[in-house]
A and B are shown apart, each in its own frame.
Chain A
Amino acid sequence: MALAVKSEGRDAIKRRALLSRAVFLVPGLTYITAFMLIPLGFIIAYTFLSRGTYGGIEFIFTTENYTRALDSLYLGVLIKSILIASTTTILAFFIGFPVAYAITKLPTNRQNLMLVLIVLPFWTNFLIRTYAWIVLLNTQGFLNKGLINMGVISQPLELLYKPSAIVLGLLYAYIPLMILPIYSALVRIDPAMKEAAVNLGATPAQAFRQVTLPLALPGVLVGAIFVFVPSVGNFIVPELLGGGKTIMVGNLIRDQFLKARDWPFGSVLALSMVLMLLLLFFIQARVNRRVLGDARA
């Protein structure tokens, strides 16, 4: 009898421990449900409905929105967006990795200063920073005038309103998001790792390639996602620096909702972005597990 009472007490303790942990989940879950899951449910529902004449939706089931998304016109925009975002991500890696690596070699107080400087541009409005590029790059801008005055060129260069200008704008905007996670992955690597590789016969270059780089890979993947995701859906940079000629999927989605008033089709496009994001996270998790093993075991 005494035993039964004791085991009941133990269950109660377990239940209470579980409950107290669940309490902490409530704010996060509420937020995600209210602002993420419910709206996503609306979007999924919209994709199967028909457009209303003045925006909104009509409750008539259709799959036409999906077949329309496969039209080469829209597919082309999607592919172009992915290409531009991928180019941006790859460039961000090749520029960001050496920067992050160099920062880890500084004394600790200098490291913090450099990190603050890297994040500093975020304190200025994104629109203003993008406009600044127009001032710099247009045919009457600082760069062209400077080059003409120095006699390097006679005619101003057309730097704006093409894909390379979009890549530049996105790269500028999002490269801190590549540098920070790579930095945090690099500083966590035990310096003895590299020394061990050298001690076992590796040249410094081999030690870097075979030990430092693989151990920094999880950080690189986070950085890649942080740069790719806002780049692929961005509509401010393509509009300002791409001159509206090079429309990316972000512009397309916005136009469907605000200009064409085709909410169901806009929803299909938005959903495709969400699915792409999920796919990226899935790949990232797989690679992480491959690199670091299951650390919990």
Chain B
Amino acid sequence: MSSFLNIAAVSKRYGDVQALNNVSLEIRENEFFALLGPSGCGKTTLLRALAGLESLDSGVVTLANEDLLSVPANKRPVNLMFQSYALFPHLNVYDNVAYGLRREKLDKAEIEQRVQDVLKTVALIDQKDRRPSQLSGGQKQRVALARAIVKRPKILLLDEPLSALDKKVRSEMQLELKRLQHEAGITFIIVTHDQEEAMSIADRIALMDKGEVVQIATPVEMYSAPKTKFVADFIGTSNLFAGTLGAGTITTQGKTLPTPATALSAGSKAVLVLRPEDISLGAAGTISGTLVSSNFYGGSSLLFVDCGFDQLIKVSCALNQVPPVGSTCHLSWSAADSILLADV
């Protein structure tokens, strides 16, 4: 697999803030790639730099082996779907979508054809004479998407594309985006702070923190083999126990828990990561405590158990097995299912 978009050692500083610190990424052709991270991690800065709306202090970016950074913003084969959508309020849906093609000086018949096609794809052909102010949030989002993909860019950048939509429309649009990406054969790079969204939509994820890439992996890898405590904490739900390693154990908050096989030496600082679904309830367990509350999530519930740690232990439980609040729970797990990370 050859790299298509190659981002090598890019940095950007705003005054005292290091927005991007020596970031390197390789993104493959036709990949659905997610830049994930908390707000202020630099993901949007990177996206805007790829679009040419932000300059970089140092580093090299090549697209299909050609220097991208020396191409002016309006000539890049890269289109951005803005978080605010940035639809032109003085133009109707059709003219919004046609705007980019008209700048390419294509002939009228081709513009007409391509705009019609893309409006059919996003199911907005009946709204083509409407102004943006007359559209719903979901419709605006689709116009913004149509306006970007009609240009047939090599890369489509999406800046928090679904954040303004309510949950139900959002999951529909996630499917829609995946379908479109597949059909159009365009490389998608999506910026999001929502780990669930990144996990469900992307082929690969780069998790960023404080201007640096922490881990690049597929969603499954990132969930099952987080590289650092930050990744384990940010991706999915987990129970973290920081402590000192012994022989096959970790001492945390005065208690001793079993650890999986590790290359870390005894006596070093480490974090034990335990996913809620790897813990089971039984007659006896490694740790025990009182059920404080349970949150219902459709198919399963998340139990919060007070086992004498500073934090409540999160346990995933099938709906018909939820014990009454206040009862004693015995928690057990296979040490091999837990993850041990060096604590730096």
Contacts and interface: CB of A to CB of B under 8 A. Distances in A.
The A interface is mostly helix, strand or loop, or mixed, namely helix
B263 to A, nearest CB: 47
Contact of B53 (A193, A199, A200, A203): A199
Nearest to A200: B100
B103 A294 contact: no
B133 A199 contact: no
B90 A203 contact: no
Contacts of A200: 74, 79, 99-100, 103, 147, 151
A297 interface: yes
A197 to B, nearest CB: 7
B82 A195 contact: yes
Contacts of B83: 192
A159 to B, nearest CB: 42
Interface in B99-146: 99-100, 103-104, 131-134
Contacts of A199: 51-53, 73-74, 78-80
B89 interface: yes
A202 B133 CA distance: 23
Interface string B50-80: 0111000000000000000000011100111
Interface string A57-94: 00000000000000000000000000000000000000
B82 A192 contact: yes
Nearest to A215: B90
B264 interface: no
B73 A292 contact: no
Contacts of B87: 196
Contact of B89 (A201, A206, A292): A292
Nearest to A296: B133
A292 B90 CA distance: 5
Nearest to A211: B88
Nearest to A207: B74
A54 to B, nearest CB: 57
Interface of B: 51-53, 73-75, 78-80, 82-84, 86-90, 92, 99-100, 103-104, 131-134, 147, 151
Interface of A: 190, 192-193, 195-204, 206, 210-211, 214-215, 291-295, 297
Given A215-B89, A295-B89, 7 more contacts: A195-B51, A198-B52, A200-B147, A200-B151, A201-B103, A211-B88, A294-B131
